[in-house]
Chain A
C-alpha cells in the first residue's frame, strides 16, 4: 500500500533538533521503507540523514512539516509523531 501523508509537529525539547534528537529521528526513519521529508523555512531534509536534519537548524518551539511517501508511510508517520510528542525522550 502506498500512502502520501503530511502533518506538522512542534519541536518540544529545550535544545531543539540537536545531535541526539536528530540521531533518534534518523535511526527511526531508517527502519521504515517510506521516504520521510522534514521541512522548515523552505529547507528540506531527508529524515534518514542526520546531517540533513541538523542542517535544518531547528530550535525549541519550531514547527516541522513532515511528509511521508511510499510503503509504510502510515506507521512511519505515527512513529514520528510519537517521537516528537515525547520530546525525543528529553525533558531538560
Chain B
C-alpha cells in the first residue's frame, strides 16, 4: 500500500479550538490555501564584485516591483476598507526603511552573500529588536515587517500571490496567515468567515474582521493540515470553535446556536434606545464613559442615557503647556450641548504630578497610583484646579452638567475642594458669568477609607460614583499590571461586594444616588448583582451599553435583590464566581453565551 496524499477517511465531527477573533457563526465549505508564500531560502556566496553589484540590482528591482504592487493594491481598495488603507502606507515606509533596505544591501556587500539570505537576516534583526518591546500590541507589528519581506522575497523568487478574485462561491477561508493587506482584498461577499493559524485577538486582521462583521477564528495551529478544501465547516467566532464535517446532529445544534445569536444581536440592538427599566419597573440609568469630545457621537449611537464619567486628562496632556480656561470651557460646553438634555458628569483632573514634567517639577514616585495625583494634586496646585472648576461651572449654563472629585480619601479633601468651588462661584458671579448655582457635586469612591467613611461623605455629596478599577486594586492590594498577581484581581471578591453594598446603603440612607463607573459596570455578567446591591446607575464603555440595557430589561429587581443577597453570603471569591456564573447561565443563557463577547469587541 502506498502512502496517500489525500485522506483515506474524512474526519467527521472533529472539533478544533482556536482564539475567537470576530463574533458570529457561519457554516460552509472550506477553501484551504496551503503554503501561501512559503519560499525555500538557500544561502550562497558571491564570488566577484560584479556578482555583488548584480545582486544589489536584483534587490532594488524586487523592491521597486513590491512598491508598485502595494501601490496598486492601495488604489484598488474598496470603500469598505478605506479606513485600513493606512496599513499600506505603513508597508511602503517599511519597504524603504533603513533597517530593512539599507541593512540588506550592507549585508550583501559586507558578507558577500545572496540577497534572499541577506533580507532574511535583516528581518531576523528586526525580530530581535521587536522581541524586546514590552507593549504586546506594538510588538505584534513585526507581522508587518514579515509581510513586506515576504512580498519582496516572492518577487525575488517568482512566486505568485494568492488571488482572492479567483473565488467564485461563498467559502470559509483557511489560511496560514492573513495579512491586513490580504484582508483588504478579500471579497466580503465570497468570504463568509476565515480561520488562520497565526494571529491574536488584537491583530489588525482580527480588528478588520470585527469591523466587517465576518466571523473569524485565529491562532488555530495546523488548520491548513487538518482541513482540506471542500470539507464542511462550522466556524464559531464567539468561542473559537471549528467543527470539521459536522454530522446532522451537530449541524442542528449549531444552526440553533446561530439562530439564537442572531436573534440576540437584533434584540440587543433594539434595546439600546429603550429605557433601562426592569420587568418590575425599576428604572436604571446606563451611561457612557468618555475621554474625548469626539466620543460623544459613539455614546449617543449606542443609546447612552448620559455621560457618567467624562475623564478630563486629555486636554491637559495634549499641549506642551497648560490649557487655558477658554479651551477647557469650549470643550466642556460642546459636550454639554451635544448631550443635552441628558446629563454629563465631568470628573476633575485625575492625574499625577509626574505627568506634568514639562510644566511643573514633580519627581515620579515609585508607586504613582498612591502618589500625588487626582484631588491631592489639585488641592496642591490651586491655579490648575481653579481654572478647571471655572470652566466646568461656566459650561454648566449650557446643559445638565455635574461635577465629580476623584480619589477622595476623607472628609477634609471634600471640605477643601468645596471651599475652593464656593470661592470660584463667587468670583464668576462678580465677573457676571452664567453658571448653574446648584451644580451637583459628586465623589468618586475608590479608596477603601472612603468606603469606611461613606456615611459621613454622603452628607457632603449630591451623588457617589464607585470607581471599581481602583477600588478593587486598593482593597485587594493587587497591581493588575503585575502578571504574578493579576489573576487575583477579582470583581466578585466578597470584600468588594460588601464594600459596594456599604457605599450603596450609606448613599441611600442620605438620599443620594450611587453609580458604578469602573469596568465592572460594563461587564454584563455583573449587571444583575450590581442592580441587586442597589446600584442606581451604571457607566461604561459605550459598546457595552446595548447588552447591559438588555439584561436590565429582562430582569426583575426582586430577583436581582435575591441574587445579590445570596452572593453576599459566600466567604470566598471562588464560591461567588461559581454562584454568579451558574445563575447567569441559567437565567440569561443567551447573555451568558454571547453577551460578554458582544460587549467587549472593539
A interface residues (Cβ-Cβ under 8 A, vs B): 7-10, 12, 15-20, 22-23, 26-27, 46, 48-52, 54-55, 57-59, 61, 63, 81, 85-87, 91-92
> Closest CB of chain A to B602's CB: distance in Å?
8
Tell me which residues across on chain A come within 8 A of B94, comparing CB atoms: 50-51
Whether A9 touches B320, Cβ cut-off 8 Å, given contacts A51-B97, A91-B292, is yes
Q: Is B279 an interface residue (CB 8 A)?
A: no
Contact of B93 among A7, A10, A50, A58 (CB under 8 A): A50
CA A20 to CA B294, docked complex, whole Å: 19
Contact A12 B89 (CB under 8 A): no
Name the residue of chain A whose CB is nearest to the CB of B320.
A81
Contact A49 B90 (CB under 8 A): no
CA A80 to CA B358, docked complex, whole Å: 16
Stretch of B62-70, B133-141, B224-232, B261-269 on the interface side: B133-141
CA A8 to CA B134, docked complex, whole Å: 21
Name the residue of chain A whose CB is nearest to the CB of B95.
A50
Contact A18 B86 (CB under 8 A): no
- Where chain A touches its partner, the secondary structure class is mixed
Whether A19 touches B90, Cβ cut-off 8 Å, given contacts A8-B358, A91-B294, is yes
Contact B98 A46 (CB under 8 A): yes
CA A18 to CA B600, docked complex, whole Å: 21
Contact A27 B135 (CB under 8 A): no
Q: Is B460 an interface residue (CB 8 A)?
A: no
Q: Is B130 an interface residue (CB 8 A)?
A: yes
Name the residue of chain B whose CB is nearest to the CB of A51.
B99
Q: Is B317 an interface residue (CB 8 A)?
A: yes
Whether A57 touches B318, Cβ cut-off 8 Å, given contacts A19-B90, A23-B93, is no
Contact A55 B90 (CB under 8 A): no
Whether A52 touches B320, Cβ cut-off 8 Å, given contacts A8-B357, A12-B314, is no
Contact A20 B358 (CB under 8 A): no
Q: Is B113 an interface residue (CB 8 A)?
A: no
> Closest CB of chain B to A78's CB: distance in Å?
11
Contact B355 A59 (CB under 8 A): no
Whether A27 touches B93, Cβ cut-off 8 Å, given contacts A20-B86, A51-B145, A92-B295, is yes
Instruction: List 25 A-B residue pairs with CB atoms under 8 Å apart, sorted by A's residue number.
Output: A9-B320, A10-B317, A12-B314, A12-B318, A19-B141, A23-B89, A23-B93, A46-B98, A48-B98, A49-B98, A50-B94, A51-B97, A51-B126, A52-B97, A54-B130, A55-B132, A57-B132, A57-B133, A57-B134, A58-B138, A59-B138, A61-B355, A81-B320, A85-B319, A92-B294
A49-B99, A52-B98, A63-B357 known; 18 new pairs, CB 8 Å cut-off, are A7-B320, A8-B357, A8-B358, A10-B355, A12-B314, A15-B137, A15-B138, A16-B137, A17-B138, A49-B98, A50-B94, A51-B94, A52-B97, A55-B130, A57-B132, A57-B133, A58-B138, A61-B355
